[in-house]
Amino acid sequence: MRVLVTGVCGFIGSHLSEYLTQALPGVEIFGLVRPRACSCTLKRAGDRIRTLEADVRDQGSVLKALREVRPDRIFHLAGQSAIEFSFRASAETFSTNTLGTVHLLEALLELQLNPVVLIASSAEAYGLTYADELPLKETATFRPLSPFGVSKAAQDLLGFQYYKACGLKVIRARIFNTLGPRQPVYYQVSNLARQIVEIEKKKREPVLRAGNLENKKDYTDIRDLVRALWLISEKSEPGEVFNLGSGQAWSGNEILKLMLGMTRAKLVLESSDRKNPLPEPPILLADISRLVRLTGWKPQISLKQSILDLINYWREQV
């Protein structure tokens, strides 16, 4: 079997490649990387991954890569995933997430290839939720609150449309919040972890800038998440969609309390002074019953362990 991972150098892509090399020795693994992108995150996966240069915003490069690989399965993980950045760069976000998906699916049609394609959608497509909708089922209405959320809603719907109209074997996984080593610093919990470590090492003043800590989010460890992605790709029928979360929601205050229990640093918490905060979903909580029924998957790594591993990652990096 030939597996292609777009965005293989990213947070999810690099962890997925590690999982595939360790758990599936008979699989050929290919990864798409943007030209001049750093592939250092792939070192832990060894030499089993063959990388090809392609940018999903450039259909020609995607076509060339697919013609060469001719994959049996694709994990489409490439994307612009920084929510706050999406407010400043809406066009770039749509170009990467939405148009990039069109380029991938159109290239498959042109080459007359029909592998299983798992698209990494996002819970941010749900956006604004109401109490009587929780936990969120896959049938919940999309009310995205950010350009990123809108782009992922469009990407999600494109996957369904190409399945229905063109017969492509597309599956969608709506990923809720993730945690774990190597998480980019533009994610709130990773940002807090890095700040704590910098304070521990006297590299910044002992002031923790936390932002909004009231919203509740459903967190899954990245190592559990990539295992679920593989199981979905193995067991799902084309056209299906699955929420991928833990089924539990934690507020930022609860997360911060856990983090502060993992450090001896003395620090002061500084709340955000932003007068016009960016709109955020007040709570995102997944109903994962469909995923569990199909695969038997359940999270194995506790939230506390995931946070500790993230802090220790930054202790090695800073």
- What is the DSSP code string of 69-93? H--SEEEE--S---HHHHHH-HHHH
- Condensed to tens digits (0 to 9), the pLDDT of residues 190-248 reads 999 999 999 999 999 999 998 889 999 999 999 999 999 999 999 999 999 999 999 99
Q: Is residue 147 part of a domain?
A: yes
pLDDT of 37 over the 80 cut: no
Residue 47's pLDDT is 75
Q: Is residue 73 part of a domain?
A: yes
Residue 281's pLDDT is 93
Residue 39's pLDDT is 58
Residue 166's pLDDT is 98
Q: Residues 134, 39: one domain?
A: yes
Q: Is residue 193 part of a domain?
A: yes
Q: What are phi and psi of 34, to 5 degrees?
A: -65, 150
- Condensed to tens digits (0 to 9), the pLDDT of residues 234-286 reads 999 999 999 999 999 999 999 999 999 999 999 999 876 665 678 999 999 99
Question: What CATH code is carried by the domain that includes residue 47?
Answer: 3.40.50.720
Question: What CATH code is carried by the domain that includes residue 258?
Answer: 3.90.25.10
- 52-73 average pLDDT score: 97
Q: Residues 79, 188: one domain?
A: no
How far CA 221 is from CA of 44, 176, 183, in Å, comes to 18, 11, 10
Q: Residues 90, 152: one domain?
A: yes
Q: Is residue 167 part of a domain?
A: yes
Q: Is residue 289 part of a domain?
A: no
pLDDT of 77 over the 60 cut: yes
Out of 43-52, 76-85, 236-245, which region has the weakest mean confidence (pLDDT)?
A: 43-52
Residue 295's pLDDT is 97
Q: Residues 168, 313: one domain?
A: no
Q: Is residue 294 part of a domain?
A: no
pLDDT of 40 over the 70 cut: no
Per the CB < 8 A criterion, the answer to whether 172 and 240 are in contact is yes
- 9-32 average pLDDT score: 95
pTM of the complete model: 0.95
Q: Is residue 238 part of a domain?
A: yes
Q: Residues 188, 129: one domain?
A: no
The SS3 of residue 46 is: coil
Q: Is residue 290 part of a domain?
A: no
pLDDT of 62 over the 70 cut: yes
Q: Residues 119, 203: one domain?
A: no
Residue 122's pLDDT is 98
Q: Residue 177: which pLDDT band, with cuts at 50, 70 and 90? A: very high
* Domain count along the chain: 2
Q: Residues 209, 279: one domain?
A: yes
Q: Residues 105, 195: one domain?
A: no
- Condensed to tens digits (0 to 9), the pLDDT of residues 99-124 reads 999 999 999 999 999 999 999 999 99
Q: Residues 42, 116: one domain?
A: yes
Residue 46's pLDDT is 61
Domain extent at residue 18: 2-178+220-244
- Condensed to tens digits (0 to 9), the pLDDT of residues 140-163 reads 999 999 999 999 999 999 999 999
Residue 276's pLDDT is 62
- Cα distance between residue 181 and residue 314, in whole Å: 8
Decide which of 236 and 40 is more confident. Answer: 236
The SS3 of residue 225 is: helix
Helix (H) or strand (E) segment spanning residue 175: strand 169-175
Per the CB < 8 A criterion, the answer to whether 145 and 279 are in contact is yes
- Cα distance between residue 276 and residue 54, in whole Å: 38
* Residue 194, number of CB atoms within 10 A of its CB: 21
Q: Residues 107, 26: one domain?
A: yes
Identify any residues that bridge with 13 across adjacent strands, giving them in sequence order. none
Q: Residues 49, 81: one domain?
A: yes
User: How is residue 275 annotated by DSSP?
Assistant: S
Q: Residues 16, 161: one domain?
A: yes
